[in-house]
Amino acid sequence: MHLLVNCSNCHTPLQLPPGAKSIRCALCQAITHIADPRSIPTPPPHQPHDYHSTSVPPPSPPSPYNHAPPGPPPTVHGRKKAVICGISYRYSRHELKGCINDAKCMRYLLINKFSFPESSILMLTEEETDPHRFPTKQNIRMAFYWLVQGCQPGDSLVFHYSGHGSRQRNYNGDEVDGFDETLCPLDFESQGMIVDDEINAAIVRPLPRGVKLHTIIDACHSGTVLDLPFLCRMSRSGQYVWEDHRPRSGIWRGTNGGEVISFSGCDDDQTSADTSALSKITSTGAMTFCFIQAIERGHATTYGSILNSMRSTISGTGNDLGGGPVTSLLTMLLTGGSLSGGLRQEPQLTACEPFDVYTKPFSL
């Protein structure tokens, strides 16, 4: 059961992780202390809710057979929120050079191309001056809670991650390939990785009808790191088929009626490049670069056109030198064939429901 509490300072609704006695607001940084939930009385019906002193009934679990609640369409809200996480693992043996550049460029893209308000983008990098915005395991978890809190129909959410990914043996039989995919926070060696099951529970399953979430995951072994039920398997010629990755256990890995679509840097058994081959001056994650470039070149009309553009760039067949301000921010564009044979990765598309990738318009 999750409790909702209002921030003691700015009154933003916050979702309290299980067992937590206090919570820090990702927006204003105020700490709200929580009384023992077992001692909090339930308010009488139709009374105003003060989440400092009342409990909230747990939401009913989504049915795996009915993905959208019945009733009239909900009122459209239309807010945009994003969490952008770039981890360089500086001064460690795991250091990556392109990930903070990825984060900055994704932020620029969301603000200038897709009209995301600056105040609604939560940045987690080692360059942040606030220690609560370092990309540690706990801070990433809190960012997940912040991203989905209070979401309403019409809202558009984005999670971008550039950093290390890994995989570990799965023992409960709910992974087709026998492995859980993971993200590696800054402190993963001491605090552990963030497993795909947790990511799914935090930002996929809570999404109500009318809310959409896009994730862009530039990491190794990231193909199904959100544990979404369906993976779009696309051939080099652009033909595709949706693979069913629903676990044999019958556990529902989709949403509570919302829509989630994820672009990832490579398949579960592949590694992603942190490369300067894409740029003569600065390093960037290959997948993030190709995603931004596809949008700026006008190849983002549909999900299929984005995926094909990204794959042609990764394979070294995208020789068109056109670009826009974000690829300029990344400095120089790809030179023809410079990646050919150099990267063993193919960007992947996963989703909570199958759809026609060549007719569904892309929008954030």
Q: Are 268 and 261 in contact (CB under 8 A)?
A: no
In the structure, what pLDDT confidence band is assigned to residue 278 with cuts at 50, 70 and 90?
very low
Contacts of 255 (CB under 8 A, 6+ apart): 62, 67, 204, 205, 206, 207, 208, 352
* 145 shares a domain with 194: yes
* 84 shares a domain with 35: no
Q: Is residue 359 part of a domain?
A: no
* 93 shares a domain with 48: no
* 45 shares a domain with 125: no
| H/E stretch holding 325 | helix 325-329
* 89 shares a domain with 45: no
Dist CA 186 CA 162 (whole Å): 12
- Distances 321 to 113, 146, 177, 291 between C-alpha atoms, Å: 20, 38, 38, 15
Mean residue pLDDT across the chain: 76
* 92 shares a domain with 20: no
Q: Is residue 270 part of a domain?
A: yes
- Distances 298 to 114, 285, 309 between C-alpha atoms, Å: 14, 21, 10
Dist CA 274 CA 96 (whole Å): 7
Q: Is residue 134 part of a domain?
A: yes
164 is an active site residue? yes
* 130 shares a domain with 34: no
* 53 shares a domain with 138: no
Sign of CA dihedral 132, 136, 139, 143: positive
**Model confidence, pTM:** 0.72
The pLDDT value given to residue 59:
52
For 314, phi then psi, to 5°, come to -60, -40
**What CATH number is associated with residue 272?**
3.40.50.12660
57 pLDDT more than 70: no
**Distance from chain centroid for Cα 49:** 31
Number of Cβ within a 10 Å radius of residue 276: 14
Tell me the residue length of the chain: 364
* 49 shares a domain with 86: no
The token duo for 158 is 């984005």
The amino acid that residue 360 corresponds to is K
Q: Is residue 257 part of a domain?
A: yes
Contacts of 159 (CB under 8 A, 6+ apart): 82, 83, 85, 144, 147, 203, 213, 214, 215, 216
Q: Are 266 and 69 in contact (CB under 8 A)?
A: no
The amino acid that residue 256 corresponds to is N
Across residues 53-74, what is the average pLDDT?
48
* 218 shares a domain with 174: yes
Instruction: Please state at what angle helix 286-296 crosses helix 303-314, rounded to 10 degrees.
Output: 130
Contacts of 131 (CB under 8 A, 6+ apart): none
User: pLDDT by residue (tens digit) across 202-239?
Assistant: 999 999 999 999 999 998 755 578 989 999 998 888 89
> Which has more confidence, 331 or 109?
109
Question: Which range of residues forms the domain containing residue 215?
Answer: 80-351
Across residues 110-126, what is the average pLDDT?
96
Range 238-254 burial, b when 16+ CB lie within 10 A, else e: eebebeebbbeeeebbb
Dist CA 146 CA 64 (whole Å): 25
99 pLDDT more than 60: yes
Classify residue 20 by burial, with Cβ atoms within 10 Å: 0-12, 13-18, 19+.
middle
> Which has more confidence, 280 or 28?
28
132 is an active site residue? no
Q: CB-hemisphere CA count at 13 Å for 195?
A: 11
139 pLDDT more than 80: yes
163 pLDDT more than 70: yes
* 121 shares a domain with 175: yes
* 90 shares a domain with 49: no
Catalytic residue (one of 99, 151, 164, 299): 164
Q: Is residue 68 part of a domain?
A: no
In the structure, what pLDDT confidence band is assigned to residue 266 with cuts at 50, 70 and 90?
low
Instruction: Tell me how many domains the chain contains.
Output: 2
> Which has more confidence, 64 or 251?
251
Dist CA 272 CA 54 (whole Å): 46
Q: Is residue 176 part of a domain?
A: yes
Catalytic residue (one of 105, 220, 232, 352): 220
- Distances 238 to 138, 258, 263, 342 between C-alpha atoms, Å: 40, 27, 16, 21
